[in-house]
């Protein structure tokens, strides 16, 4: 059981460490704390079960585009993955099993949505307010998810639409699509998964594409019984598969960061893919991007192009001018009447709303600190916000491999800082400003020469144009940098000299 004390006067529950979220990050951190012998922690979770993004994104066809044997905890392998790319239900079940196996549920406060986290300079503790109750914690570790807040497009009139509408991350499974005129706005990683699943269902499906994506074939297939047997009884086979996927993915960094011209190999594959699947001479150019491959996330799909060519499907590329009560007006003044709009328009990534809820030393609001783009040290610590750590904070996202690997790296790194803080008997630990600055200057230098800076717009970029989402390198380099943890990068303070 979680050993927490409750200050009944103020109705505030006191805990040593408060974790936000129960996705891979929150669960992974909690397991590490248990390993360290720390039991005094609480996890707040806004929903009524664990799973994070893999609980929320339930749209038809939702799946991961990183192979299952790499997209899982290294310490909790699963010989039973049904196929190369895991589906959403399989990933959600995996995370539920992990939470059960490590007996994390007693630590979790479900239906507790974060409202505010405020650092108290005098006590050196965080006051965390949530929809389900308030907490006082010495440390806060946020595994809130980089892609957790669905974003609706800023199209004039969108709020006036009177038909049915929902976002891909809040799929309305009760809404019946047959016979309806349905619009999909957005053609990103989510849309290319759900559009093929629903394409033949409505009377008419209009897919509004602002920018085409580069798409390569998806090498998916079920694992055979023999393979699963081997993974289970001869674990080295599973490890070899994992290592092979890892190395293949890492090799992409050569093109993405070091030598962008190498990305032409992917371009050839993507061009061949579209040539094989789209014969129509008017449709093919509409679907072919004019920016370098890899600048936006490379998507994988075998059924996106065929779905767009179904007789009831149209691809609209003219750009949306406005949305009216029952229609969408494009730039060419054509009115597209629709009964339902499905938004596949992504998430608040570079402008994560959580930043407006966090107040550090002297009441400094994180969204203000980050107004010109998010910055942290090693994606987890921000100067001015003592004892607060992000998992999957700024510049940790990958364009090429598994986020679970990055999460495990950060979990280990945070645990080392916690240990150092204990050993030095300090009340607060905070990254030094010059260390954070120097680190970010180095990142931006690398990012400036990367494929992501070659002129496209993407959710990797803050509105200022700064790339604040991506780690510009190999994942093992990130791990090495985190391992080479230097105490001198941080200020360990007692309360007296905290201010």
Are 343 and 168 in contact by the 8 Å Cβ rule? The answer is yes
As a three-state string, the secondary structure of 289-316 is: CCCCCCCCCCEECCCHHHHHCCCCEEEE
Kindly identify the residues of this chain, within the stretch 325-344, that bind ligand NAP according to CB under 6 A.
344
Q: Establish if 154 lies at the interface with ligand NAP (CB under 6 A).
A: yes
7 three-class SS:
strand
Q: Tell me which of 65, 116, 314, 364 binds ligand NAP, using CB under 6 A.
A: 65
Nearer to ligand NAP, 150 or 386 (CB): 150
Q: Binding string to ligand NAP for residues 199 to 238, with x set by CB under 6 A, is what?
A: -----------xx---------------------------
Q: CB of residue 428 vs ligand NAP: minimum separation in angstroms?
A: 34
452-458, Cβ contacts within 8 angstroms, sequence gap of 24 or more: 452/256, 452/294, 452/295, 452/399, 454/260, 454/291, 454/292, 454/295, 455/291, 455/292, 455/295, 456/211, 456/291, 456/292, 456/295, 456/296, 457/211, 457/296, 458/295, 458/296, 458/297
Q: Is 286 exposed, middle or buried (0-12, 13-18, 19+ CB in 10 A)?
A: middle
**Pairing state of beta strands 327-330 and 320-323?**
antiparallel
Q: Binding string to ligand NAP for residues 450 to 479, with x set by CB under 6 A, is what?
A: -------x-x--------------------
Q: Which residues contact 115 (CB under 8 A, 6 or more apart)?
A: 129, 130, 131, 357
Are 67 and 236 in contact by the 8 Å Cβ rule? The answer is no
Q: Tell me which of 68, 190, 206, 421 binds ligand NAP, using CB under 6 A.
A: 190
Nearer to ligand NAP, 80 or 457 (CB): 457
- CA 168 to centroid of chain Cα atoms: 15
Name the one range near ligand NAP by CB under 6 A: 40-48, 184-192, 379-387, 487-495: 184-192
Nearer to ligand NAP, 68 or 168 (CB): 168
Q: Tell me which of 147, 184, 411, 451 binds ligand NAP, using CB under 6 A.
A: 147
Are 73 and 94 in contact by the 8 Å Cβ rule? The answer is no
Q: Tell me which of 16, 297, 400, 466 binds ligand NAP, using CB under 6 A.
A: 297
Nearer to ligand NAP, 397 or 428 (CB): 397
Residues written for the chain: 499
Q: CB of residue 214 vs ligand NAP: minimum separation in angstroms?
A: 11
Q: Tell me which of 148, 155, 278, 447 binds ligand NAP, using CB under 6 A.
A: 155
455 three-class SS:
coil
Q: Which residues contact 366 (CB under 8 A, 6 or more apart)?
A: 355, 356, 358, 359, 360, 382, 385
Q: Tell me which of 292, 294, 346, 394 binds ligand NAP, using CB under 6 A.
A: 346
Q: Tell me which of 44, 64, 216, 263 binds ligand NAP, using CB under 6 A.
A: 64
Task: State both tokens at 339.
Answer: 């009964």
Are 51 and 184 in contact by the 8 Å Cβ rule? The answer is no
Name the one range near ligand NAP by CB under 6 A: 63-71, 223-231, 333-341, 418-426: 63-71
Nearer to ligand NAP, 56 or 489 (CB): 56
Q: Establish if 188 lies at the interface with ligand NAP (CB under 6 A).
A: yes
Q: Establish if 345 lies at the interface with ligand NAP (CB under 6 A).
A: yes
Q: Establish if 294 lies at the interface with ligand NAP (CB under 6 A).
A: no
Q: CB of residue 466 vs ligand NAP: minimum separation in angstroms?
A: 17
Task: State both tokens at 276.
Answer: 């094989």
Q: Tell me which of 31, 114, 148, 191 binds ligand NAP, using CB under 6 A.
A: 191
Residues that bind ligand NAP (CB under 6 A): 63-65, 147, 153-155, 168, 185-191, 193, 210-211, 297, 320, 344-347, 457, 459
């Amino acid at each position: 059981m979680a050993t927490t004390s409750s200050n009944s006067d103020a109705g505030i529950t006191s805990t040593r460490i408060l974790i936000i979220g129960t996705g891979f990050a929150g669960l992974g951190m909690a397991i590490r704390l248990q390993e360290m012998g720390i039991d005094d922690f609480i996890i707040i979770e806004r929903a009524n079960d664990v799973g994070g993004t893999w609980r929320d994104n339930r749209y038809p066809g939702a799946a991961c585009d990183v192979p299952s044997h790499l997209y899982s905890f290294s310490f909790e392998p699963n010989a039973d993955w049904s196929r190369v790319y895991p589906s959403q239900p399989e990933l959600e079940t995996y995370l539920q099993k992990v939470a059960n196996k490590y007996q994390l549920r007693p630590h979790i406060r479900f239906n507790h949505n974060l409202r505010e986290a405020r650092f108290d300079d005098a006590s050196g503790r965080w006051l965390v307010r949530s929809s389900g109750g308030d907490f006082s914690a010495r440390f806060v570790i946020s595994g809130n998810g980089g892609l957790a807040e669905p974003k609706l497009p800023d199209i004039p009139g969108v709020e006036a639409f009177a038909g049915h509408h929902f976002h891909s991350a809040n799929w309305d499974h009760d809404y019946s699509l047959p016979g309806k005129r349905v619009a999909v706005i957005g053609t990103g990683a989510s849309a290319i998964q759900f559009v093929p699943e629903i394409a033949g269902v409505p009377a008419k499906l209009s897919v509004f594409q602002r920018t085409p994506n580069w798409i390569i074939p998806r090498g998916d297939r079920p694992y055979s019984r023999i393979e699963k047997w081997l993974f289970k009884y001869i674990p080295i086979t599973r490890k070899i598969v994992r290592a092979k996927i890892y190395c293949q993915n890492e090799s992409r960094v050569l093109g993405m960061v070091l030598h962008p011209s190498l990305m032409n190999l992917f371009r050839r594959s993507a061009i061949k893919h579209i040539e094989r699947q789209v014969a129509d001479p008017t449709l093919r150019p509409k679907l072919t991007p004019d920016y370098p491959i890899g600048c936006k996330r490379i998507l994988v799909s075998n059924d996106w192009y065929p779905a767009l060519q179904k007789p009831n499907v149209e691809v609209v590329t003219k750009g949306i001018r406005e949305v009216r009560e029952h229609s969408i007006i494009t730039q060419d003044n054509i009115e597209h009447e629709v009964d339902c709009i499905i938004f596949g328009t992504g998430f608040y990534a570079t402008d994560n709303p959580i930043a407006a809820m966090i107040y550090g030393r002297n009441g400094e609001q994180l969204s203000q600190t980050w107004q010109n783009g998010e910055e942290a040290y090693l994606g987890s610590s921000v100067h001015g916000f003592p004892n607060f750590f992000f998992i999957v904070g700024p510049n940790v996202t990958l364009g090429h491999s598994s986020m679970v690997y990055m999460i495990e790296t950060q979990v280990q790194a945070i645990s080392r800082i916690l240990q150092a803080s204990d050993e030095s008997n300090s009340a607060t630990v905070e990254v030094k400003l010059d260390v954070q600055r120097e680190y970010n200057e180095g990142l931006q230098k690398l990012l400036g020469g990367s494929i992501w800076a070659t002129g496209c717009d993407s959710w990797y970029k803050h509105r200022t144009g700064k790339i604040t989402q991506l780690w510009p390198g190999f994942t093992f380099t990130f791990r090495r940098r985190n391992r080479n943890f230097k105490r001198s990068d941080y200020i360990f303070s007692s309360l007296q000299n905290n201010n």
